[in-house]
């Protein structure tokens, strides 16, 4: 449990931490199991239109399918999930509709609740762009206000013709898996070819996945989570981590592949191993390193190692997987970027270059493979409680951990949840994007 939450609860320390005014984070409600059919079972949900939304039918059906209970405004009960369809808003005066809908309800949201604003994607012209951007600003501010109560608030921007692609995203952004993903703006697009059938529950049975850097930390959590949904995971990491890889694979029924992803024969070896399994559906480029130094002090080798592992190996592996069609149609590629790649960070010119480049890389790849139904996305973690962040000096760590809307650090599992969602069939409307899993960290906000 988070240290501050524990201190607040302690009969001895509680009065003292309150006296000095230390922030009081809410214990986030996380779900340890696999996806369930009725993701909103036992939760009250309201689907409201701001100016007669255009996706109401899809949103209401999605909530019904997920088992959400209709919330009655006249009851005293708190509201667990608030979904607002603002896709019909098209004029500057329509912002008033947001006020009308949210003002009476913002104070009635339950702890650990969810807010999903569904708005139009920006079209051409200043008004359309202003409407889309204004909703972005509204959502980000609302997320900061409700985050104090452990509530995650996110915005889906729906492109023309993509309303039927909302359901998977609604289940994720309104469900327990999104505990540490808040203040995000995600576009639901019509670009990527749809799979022939989209299971309501985003299970991955029969899918094959590659996770690099899977021996520990975030990669380990991703491998475990994908396997929990039924995927067969090929777990790759450096030969020195072979024992950990094998222990993981014994637990999750996966296959260990010890290799250095930067070695010249790594793409070929990966292709061979994955072809033996009939190809791969999910590729998670998680392996990453830091070699922090200021620009003036950085050695060429430190620069190059980071660029090699974090970026160039990713591009070379994808090139091989795509050239040989080892990556199957309707495949999913997810790259681990970082907040550092969005905001920049002192002493991390090499790391930030590589992580920012991945954001551009997925945006560029997405349209090229959309006709094959393949999506490319990046995930940008903020402060995640791992062995890496444990090494940070206490005060710096405490500041990094608290500077977000939820006032706490995330868990490797939170990153794994977002990756698993983006790897699922229901995420086919999302491609070329970068989603942060950072509790709406202030860095690069
Ligand atoms: P970690 O250092 O705990 O794990 C990284 C894994 O990658 C290790 O098992 C390592 O052996 C493996 N690896 C490194 N070089 C490799 C190579 N050449 N070939 C194969 N495997 C290799 O890191 P983590 O904290 O779990 O981070 C995972 C990813 O998330 C990284 O890409 C990192 O940049 C990113 N990230 C982490 C955080 C955080 O707070 N921990 C924040 C932002 C981004």
- Ligand 1 pocket, residue 389 CB under 6 Å: yes
For the whole model, what pTM was predicted? 0.96
Beta bridge pairs of residue 81: 45, 114
For residue 153, give the H/E element and its range: strand 152-158
Count of CB atoms within 10 A of residue 440's CB?
23
- Ligand 1 pocket, residue 219 CB under 6 Å: yes
Query: CB of 194 within 8 A of CB of 428?
Result: yes
> What is the number of the ligand 1 atom nearest to the C-alpha of 240?
11
380 φ, ψ to 5°?
-115, 100
Report how far ligand 1's centroid is from the alpha carbon of 219 (Å).
7
Beta bridge pairs of residue 333: 283, 376
Please write down the HEC assignment for all residues of 406-443: CCCCECHHHHHHHHHHHCCHHHCCCCCCEEEECCCECC
Q: Confirm whether 361 is a catalytic residue.
A: no
Q: How does pLDDT run across 62-100, given as a tens digit for each residue?
A: 999 999 999 988 877 889 999 999 999 999 999 999 999
Q: How does pLDDT run across 344-379, given as a tens digit for each residue?
A: 999 999 999 999 999 999 999 999 999 999 999 999
- Give the chain's radius of gyration (CA, Å): 22
121 φ, ψ to 5°?
-75, 150
From first to last of the 445 residues of the chain, give the pLDDT tens digit.
888 888 888 888 778 878 777 878 889 999 999 998 899 999 999 999 999 899 999 999 999 999 999 998 887 788 999 999 999 999 999 999 999 999 999 999 999 999 999 999 999 999 999 999 999 999 999 999 999 999 999 999 999 999 999 999 999 999 999 999 999 999 999 999 998 887 766 579 999 999 999 999 999 999 999 999 999 999 999 999 999 999 999 999 999 999 999 999 999 999 999 999 999 999 999 999 999 999 999 999 999 999 999 999 999 999 999 998 999 999 999 999 999 999 999 999 999 999 999 999 999 999 999 999 999 999 999 999 987 788 788 888 888 899 999 999 999 999 999 999 999 999 999 999 999 999 999 887 6
- Ligand 1 pocket, residue 288 CB under 6 Å: yes
Beta bridge pairs of residue 153: 115
Report how far ligand 1's centroid is from the alpha carbon of 217 (Å).
7
By C-alpha distance, which of 374, 345, 339, 373 is closest to 359? 339
> What is the number of the ligand 1 atom nearest to the C-alpha of 287?
7
First to last CA, the chain: 26
215 vs 254: CA distance, rounded Å: 12
> What is the number of the ligand 1 atom nearest to the C-alpha of 214?
9
Report how far ligand 1's centroid is from the alpha carbon of 309 (Å).
10
| Nearest CA residue ID for atom 1, ligand 1 | 217
Q: How does pLDDT run across 8-32, given as a tens digit for each residue?
A: 888 887 788 787 778 788 899 999 9
Report how far ligand 1's centroid is from the alpha carbon of 312 (Å).
15
Query: CB of 116 within 8 A of CB of 173?
Result: yes
430 vs 375: CA distance, rounded Å: 7
By C-alpha distance, which of 288, 289, 254 is closest to 273? 254
Report how far ligand 1's centroid is from the alpha carbon of 212 (Å).
9
For residues 35, 36, 41 and 46, what is the CA-based torsion angle, rounded to 10 degrees? 50
3-state secondary structure of 256: strand
By C-alpha distance, which of 320, 336, 358, 310 is closest to 223? 336
Catalytic residue among 35, 99, 180, 351: 351
Query: CB of 317 within 8 A of CB of 272?
Result: no
CA atoms within 13 A on the CB side of 170: 32
- 334 burial class (0-12, 13-18, 19+ CB within 10 angstroms)? buried
């Amino acid at each position: 449990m988070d240290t501050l939450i524990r201190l607040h609860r302690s009969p001895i320390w509680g009065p003292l931490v309150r006296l000095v005014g230390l922030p009081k984070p809410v214990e986030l409600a996380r779900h340890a199991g696999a996806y369930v059919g009725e993701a909103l079972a036992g939760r009250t949900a309201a689907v409201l239109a701001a100016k007669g939304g255009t996706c109401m039918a899809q949103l209401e059906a999605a909530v019904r399918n997920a088992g959400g209970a209709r919330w009655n405004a006249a009851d005293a009960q708190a509201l667990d999930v608030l979904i607002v369809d603002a896709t019909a808003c098209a004029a500057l005066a329509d912002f008033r509709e947001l006020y009308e809908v949210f003002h009476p309800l913002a104070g009635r949201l339950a702890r650990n609740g969810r807010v999903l604003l569904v708005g139009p994607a920006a079209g051409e012209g200043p008004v359309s762009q202003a409407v889309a951007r204004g909703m972005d600003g509204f959502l980000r501010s609302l997320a900061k206000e409700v985050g104090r109560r452990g509530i995650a608030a996110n915005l889906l921007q729906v492109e023309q013709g993509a309303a039927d692609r909302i359901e998977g995203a609604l289940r994720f952004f309104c469900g327990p898996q999104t505990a540490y993903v808040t203040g995000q703006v995600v576009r639901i697009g019509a670009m990527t070819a749809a799979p022939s059938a989209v299971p309501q529950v985003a299970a991955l049975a029969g899918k094959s996945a590659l996770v690099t850097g899977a021996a520990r930390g975030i990669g380990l959590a991703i491998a475990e989570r994908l396997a929990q949904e039924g995927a067969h995971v090929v777990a790759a990491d450096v030969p020195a981590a072979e024992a950990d890889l094998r222990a993981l694979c014994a637990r999750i029924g996966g296959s260990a592949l010890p290799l250095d992803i930067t070695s010249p024969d790594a793409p070929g070896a990966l292709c061979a191993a994955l072809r033996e399994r009939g190809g791969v559906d999910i590729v998670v480029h998680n392996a990453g390193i830091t070699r922090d130094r200021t620009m003036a002090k950085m050695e060429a080798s430190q620069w190059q190692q980071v660029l090699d592992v974090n970026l160039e190996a990713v591009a070379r592996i994808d090139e091989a997987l795509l050239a040989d069609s080892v990556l199957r149609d309707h495949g999913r590629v997810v790259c681990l970027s970082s907040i550092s790649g969005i905001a920049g960070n002192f002493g991390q010119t090499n790391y930030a270059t590589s992580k920012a480049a991945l954001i551009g890389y997925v945006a560029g790849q997405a349209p090229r493979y959309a006709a094959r139904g393949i999506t490319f996305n990046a995930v940008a973690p903020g402060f995640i409680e791992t062995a890496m962040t444990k090494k940070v000096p206490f005060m710096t760590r405490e500041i990094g951990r608290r500077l977000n809307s939820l006032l706490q650090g995330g868990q490797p599992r939170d990153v794994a949840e977002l990756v698993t969602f983006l790897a699922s069939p229901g995420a086919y409307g999302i491609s070329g994007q970068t989603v942060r899993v950072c509790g709406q960290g202030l860095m690069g906000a």
